[in-house]
Every structure is written in structure tokens, then in C-alpha cells.
Amino acid sequence: MLFSKRKLSRSIVIVIIIILALFFLNLIGILSPLNNLISRPLGWFQQWFYKAGVDLSNTEVRLLSKAELIELNQELKDQVLDLTIRITELKIFEEENKELVKQLDFLSRQPYQTVTARIIGRSPDYSEDILIINRGSKDGLKDGLAVIAEEGVLIGKIIKTERNQSKVMVLTDAQSKVAAAILNQNRTVGLVEGQYGLSAKLGLIPQNEEVKVNDLVITSGLEENIPKGLLIAKVDHLTTQPNDVFQSALLSLLLDYNKINLVSVILP
């Protein structure tokens, strides 16, 4: 035990002597190379810790920027949507303006008194081919009046009138019937009938009349409130059977009713 205490005391004395010696050597500059050798690893560690701190700070900045970008992105989406709506409105206005110009050009050469109307809907009943317009009895409209589009093409007749709107049965409706004539040498008369919303045909054509493909079909003027000479369609092909009493022809319509925005109603 006594030996161990002496050994410990001797070790303490040696450590103190070494510390004092290192302190003295450092004061006189002998340990400068050693300091440089030790400071390099310490510098590397210090640099690493500093870079890690900067990266952590930048990460917080990026997270904040992401939140700002999300908000900015939503603002841009709202602006794009607003511009899309405006462009759509302009396109609709442009289309309606083109239709109106055609109608006005036609009507300026005719003696008709008309009311211009916008199509605002279609009948929800799929068994009907009915358009709804934004003009009614307060505008002088009544049942049976002719409805035309673009350059005087007949598309149908008014079948029901309310104060502020009316229903128009177009020529393709199965219940639609219009007195017509073929624009040929004999002015062949017939009856245009709807084909279940798909097309229309010209029937009741006398067998002795000559009918050709692409002959134009117009209103005959034999029907009240429907002026003579309104364009309806053209002959697509004959559908007459050998034993039929009358000839019949399938018609090719001049307008796509689904693409019409404006119409004119011819007043009596």
C-alpha cells in the first residue's frame, strides 16, 4: 500500500513537471510546429460544424420559400382561370358577332320584320329536338312563326310562347313538318319531315317529278307564317321504293343546329 502511494505521488510530480515544461517551451516558441499540426484537424472540425450550421439555416429558408411558392402558384392559377374565362367569353362574342353579321346581311335584303334571339337552352326530353330562346310574347312572338339562322336558313318553328321565352321545334324533330319545294324547273312541292333528331326527309313528291342529288329545298309558301323561299336543305339521296306512291329523299341540312347561338324570328 505504501509503495502504491509513493508511485502515485511520483506520477503526479512527473505530470506537473511535463506541463510546466510544455508551458515553458511554448513560451519560447519551440512548440509552434506542434501547434500548427494540431490546429489543422481542429480547423477542419470547426469548418465542418460551421458549414452544417449554414446548411441548416438555408434549409429553413427553403421551407419558407416553398410555402411562398405554393401561395404564388395558387395566385397564378386563379389568374390563368380568369384569363381563360375572359378568352372564352370573347370567343363566344366573336362567334355570335359573325352569326349576327350574316343574319343582318340577309335581312337587309328582305322585307321581313324580325326579332333576334339568343338560344339559352335545349329541351331536357331526349325524344324532342327543341331549342329554347330568350324572346317571348312580350316581343311579339307567337306559335307557328318561322325561325331562321345565319343567311336565312330555316331551322324550325315556334311551338310554344311564354312571356320571356319560347320553344322552337327544329326540323329534325320527329313531329316537325314544313311545306317545302325543290328549287328545280318544276318547283316540285313536298313535305319536309323530321327523322327523330337525326336528319330530315322530303316526302310526298309526285312520282312524275325529277329530283336530283344536291337540289336545294326551300319553303313553298303554302304554310301560314312561313315565307316562301327560305332555304331548308339540299337533297342527299333518294329513298323511294318501287311500289311507293310518292317519291322521298333524305336531306342534308345546311347548318349544324348544335353550333347555333343566335337566331331570328320572322314576325307576321
- Per-residue pLDDT tens for 141-185? 999 999 999 888 999 999 999 999 999 999 999 999 999 999 887
Domain limit, last residue, from 56, 74, 109: 109
Pair 244, 256: CB distance under 8 Å = no
Contacts of 249 by beta carbon, 8 Å cutoff, 6+ apart: 201, 202, 205, 211, 235, 236, 237, 238, 239, 240
Give the domain range for residue 156.
114-266
Burial of 251 (0-12, 13-18, 19+ CB in 10 A): buried
pLDDT bin (cut points 50, 70, 90) of residue 258 is confident
- Beta bridge partners, 194, equal 200
Within this chain, do residues 127 and 160 fall inside the same structural domain, yes or no? yes
Pair 159, 169: CB distance under 8 Å = yes
Asked whether residue 5 is assigned to any structural domain, the reply reads: no
Within this chain, do residues 65 and 132 fall inside the same structural domain, yes or no? no
C-alpha pair distances (Å), 45 with each of 31, 39, 50: 22, 10, 9
Pair 130, 173: CB distance under 8 Å = yes
Within this chain, do residues 155 and 255 fall inside the same structural domain, yes or no? yes
Q: How many domains does the chain have?
A: 2
Q: What average pLDDT is seen over the chain?
A: 78
Within this chain, do residues 137 and 174 fall inside the same structural domain, yes or no? yes
Asked whether residue 194 is assigned to any structural domain, the reply reads: yes
Within this chain, do residues 124 and 232 fall inside the same structural domain, yes or no? yes
Domain limit, last residue, from 109, 125, 146: 109
Q: What is the CATH number of the domain that holds 171?
A: 2.40.10.340
- Predicted TM-score (pTM) of the model is 0.62
Domain limit, last residue, from 79, 109, 139: 109
Within this chain, do residues 150 and 249 fall inside the same structural domain, yes or no? yes
